[in-house]
Amino acid sequence: MSEAADLTDAVEPAVIDDARQLAVDAELVVVKAGTNSLTDDRSRLDDEKVNKLVEDVMDLRQAGKQVLLVSSGAVGAGKGLIGLTDETVEESQALSTVGQSQLMRRYTEGFERFDQTVAQILLTGHDLENPDRFTNFTNTVETLLEWDIVPIINENDAVATEELRIGDNDMLSSSVAIGIDADLLVTLTDVGGVYTGNPKRDPSAERIEAVGSNYTTVQEVVTESSRDAFGGIQTKVAGARSASEHGIPAIIAESTEDDVLAKITAKEAVGTLFVPINGDDDD
Query: Which structural domain, as residue segments, surrounds residue 107?
Result: 26-274
Closest alpha carbon to 38 in 256, 213, 251 = 256
Mean pLDDT, residues 257-269: 96
* Residue 190 annotated as part of some ligand binding site: yes
Q: pLDDT at position 22, please?
A: 97
* Residue 115 annotated as part of some ligand binding site: no
Grade residue 280 by pLDDT with cuts at 50, 70 and 90: very low
Grade residue 80 by pLDDT with cuts at 50, 70 and 90: confident
Residue 93 falls inside a structural domain: yes
Give the integer Cα–Cα distance in Å for 194 and 133.
34
As a whole number of Å, the end-to-end CA separation of the chain is: 21
Sign of CA dihedral 239, 240, 241, 246: positive
Check residues 174 and 79 and name the one with the higher pLDDT: 174
- Express each pLDDT in 211-229 by its tens digit: 998 988 888 888 877 664 4
* Residue 189 annotated as part of some ligand binding site: yes
Residue 138 falls inside a structural domain: yes
pLDDT at 43 over 90: no
Residue 281 falls inside a structural domain: no
Give the integer Cα–Cα distance in Å for 46 and 36.
10
Q: pLDDT at position 8, please?
A: 64
Total number of domains constituting the chain? 1
Q: Dihedrals φ, ψ of 168, to 5°?
A: -110, 55
DSSP at 138: H
Residue 16 falls inside a structural domain: no
What CATH number has the domain bearing residue 110? 3.40.1160.10
Mean pLDDT, residues 150-162: 81
Residue 21 falls inside a structural domain: no
Q: pLDDT at position 234, please?
A: 87
Alpha helices in 33-130 (DSSP H): 47-62, 74-82, 89-112, 125-129
Check residues 277 and 164 and name the one with the higher pLDDT: 277
Residue 274 CB-half CA count within 13 A? 33
* Residue 157 annotated as part of some ligand binding site: yes
Mean pLDDT, residues 147-170: 75
SS3 for 211-234 is: ECCCHHHHHHHHHHHCCCCHHHHH
Q: pLDDT at position 211, please?
A: 94
Residue 231 falls inside a structural domain: yes
Beta-carbon contacts of residue 75 (< 8 Å; ≥ 6 apart): 35, 92, 95, 96, 99, 157, 164
Residue 20 falls inside a structural domain: no
* Residue 37 annotated as part of some ligand binding site: no
Please state the pTM of the whole predicted model: 0.92
Q: Are 107 and 54 in contact (CB under 8 A)?
A: yes
Residue 279 falls inside a structural domain: no
- In this prediction, what percent of the chain has a pLDDT beyond 70? 90
- Express each pLDDT in 167-190 by its tens digit: 468 888 999 999 999 999 999 998
